């Protein structure tokens, strides 16, 4: 089992070397331009009330009549 410890250390050191090389390449890679921010134009709350939505009214239909028709149809299908 001791021989695997040396193997693991070698792998770890090789990995760290590759990671260091990768980090150097990424540092040289050009960075994409930053997106514009809203820092120069802050949002100010002026205490304007939030507009209220209209309440939509629904017409209530006679449920008993529709229910009776759907039950008749169900009876015919069965």
CA separation for the pair 13, 16 (Å, rounded): 5
pLDDT in tens, 11-45: 999 999 999 999 998 888 788 888 887 777 777 77
DSSP for 18-78, written as a single string: HHHHHHHHHHHSPPPPPPP-STTS------PPPPPPPPPP-PPP-HHHHHHHHHHHHHHH-
Q: What is the pLDDT of residues 36-55, one digit of tens each?
A: 877 777 777 777 777 788 88
pLDDT for the residue numbered 65: 58
The structure's pTM equals: 0.35
Give the model confidence (pLDDT) of 52-77 as tens digits. 888 888 776 666 555 556 656 566 66
How many CB atoms are closer than 10 A to CB 13? 10
pLDDT value at residue 21? 93
């Amino acid at each position: 089992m001791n021989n695997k410890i040396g193997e693991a250390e070698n792998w770890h050191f090789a990995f760290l070397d590759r990671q260091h090389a990768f980090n150097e390449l990424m540092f040289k890679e050009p960075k994409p331009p930053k997106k514009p921010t809203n820092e120069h134009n802050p949002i100010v709350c002026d205490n304007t009330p939030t507009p209220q939505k209209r309440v939509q009214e629904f017409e209530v239909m006679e449920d008993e009549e529709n229910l009776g028709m759907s039950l008749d149809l169900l009876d015919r299908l069965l």
